[in-house]
Amino acid sequence: MTARAPTPWSHDLPLALSQGDPSGIGPEIALMAWMRRTPGDRPFFVLGDPDHLRRVAASIGLNAPVAAVGPQDAAGAFAAALPVVPLANKVDGRPGAPSPADAAATIEAIERGVSLVREGRAHALVTNPISKDNLYKAGFKHPGHTEFLGELALRDYGVEARPVMLLWSPQLAVVPATIHVALSRVLSDLTEDLLVETGRIVARDLASRFGIAQPRLAFAGLNPHAGENGSMGREDIDIIAPAVARLAAEGVLARGPLPADTMFHAAARARYDVAICMYHDQALIPIKTLAFDSAVNVTLGLPFIRTSPDHGTAYDIAGSGKADPASLIAALHLAARLANADAGA
């Protein structure tokens, strides 16, 4: 498949926001994010069911008008109402009561968002949280959003992408080298080539999208104390250290493996721009401890911009009005920042 030419970007394009699981908190935080808009914010539109969003707004007492529009009209409608681009699939479930019947709409919103960015009708994709368990019941085959977006990059852009999950906040940025896999699989999945490829993608995208001229990459060790010179396993010596050496030889500012238990205090964080961790929780526990409400999930390695709030569907509070839109607002702001850089702001 031949890669397609990049879309010429404009500062006037809105952001596309997929509805996520409509029975989670995604619809209400989208409404709240629109209500907290400020002058100068880049407009966004939701890919979802307008009637469902109206029901959610009414049920939690939000005075947030919803306008069903086409993507081309979203920016013009944004000042007076939350623009919603209707999906072909209607929503069946209610807040806090997920329905497997909504899997089609959840997937459609993600797929259509990528297509609209590819067509130049949106500048970036922001995704609300999904329930993988609910999607699995409907036949979804991917471990998560990140891996699914890699497939869509091939479908819509003709690009063999290797998506990399970056969790970003002003306090800390982390990358899990292995993502949605059982801990028992980490040892078999963790290879020198995987770490080198991950490091290259992270260094490239932090430079091109985040404007960090020479990103500093710190690699966490896998074993306690980075293996204690092999006394607690040779993975740090045989896999991580050679990968760091290869990246350094290519001119990447990489160091490690470093003991993970001393990497995340303030003085240590000042010495790197991103921590590359060996497995999911090694990366996500520190950032969710430090920046639970402000952390943003960014997918690197894709031919388009994608961000997401760093939390789940929160079925237990969905429909109560208690959801905090801070992480979604941070995701929208970061997507706008990356879009502005993409358009040469």
Locate the domains of the chain by residue range: 1-160+301-345, 171-290
For residue 6, the model assigns a pLDDT of: 43
For residue 284, the model assigns a pLDDT of: 94
Homologous superfamily (CATH) for 171-290: Isopropylmalate Dehydrogenase (3.40.718.10)
User: 3-class SS at 334?
Assistant: helix
How many residues are recorded in the chain? 345
- β-partners of residue 258 are 220
Q: What is the C-alpha separation between 345 and 342, in angstroms, rounded? A: 7
Task: Please identify every stretch of the chain with a pLDDT value under 70, giving residue numbers as ranges.
Answer: 1-11, 138, 343-345
User: 3-class SS at 165?
Assistant: strand
In 4-102, alpha helices (H)? 26-35, 50-59, 74-77
- β-partners of residue 77 are none
Homologous superfamily (CATH) for 1-160+301-345: Isopropylmalate Dehydrogenase (3.40.718.10)
- β-partners of residue 276 are 175, 219
Nearest CA-CA partner of 123 in 341, 309, 298: 341
Measured CA distances, 161 to 15, 44, 143, 148, 258 (Å): 22, 26, 16, 11, 28
Q: What is the C-alpha separation between 321 and 344, in angstroms, rounded? A: 38
Consecutive H or E run containing 83: strand 82-86
What sign does the dihedral 69-72-73-76 (CA atoms) show? positive
Q: Is residue 126 within 8 Å of 18, Cβ to Cβ?
A: yes
Token pair 């797929």 in the structure block, residue: 111
- Domain 1-160+301-345 and domain 171-290 have a common topology: yes
Q: Across the chain, what does the average pLDDT equal?
A: 90
**Could you give the percent of the chain with pLDDT greater than 90?**
70
For residue 343, the model assigns a pLDDT of: 62
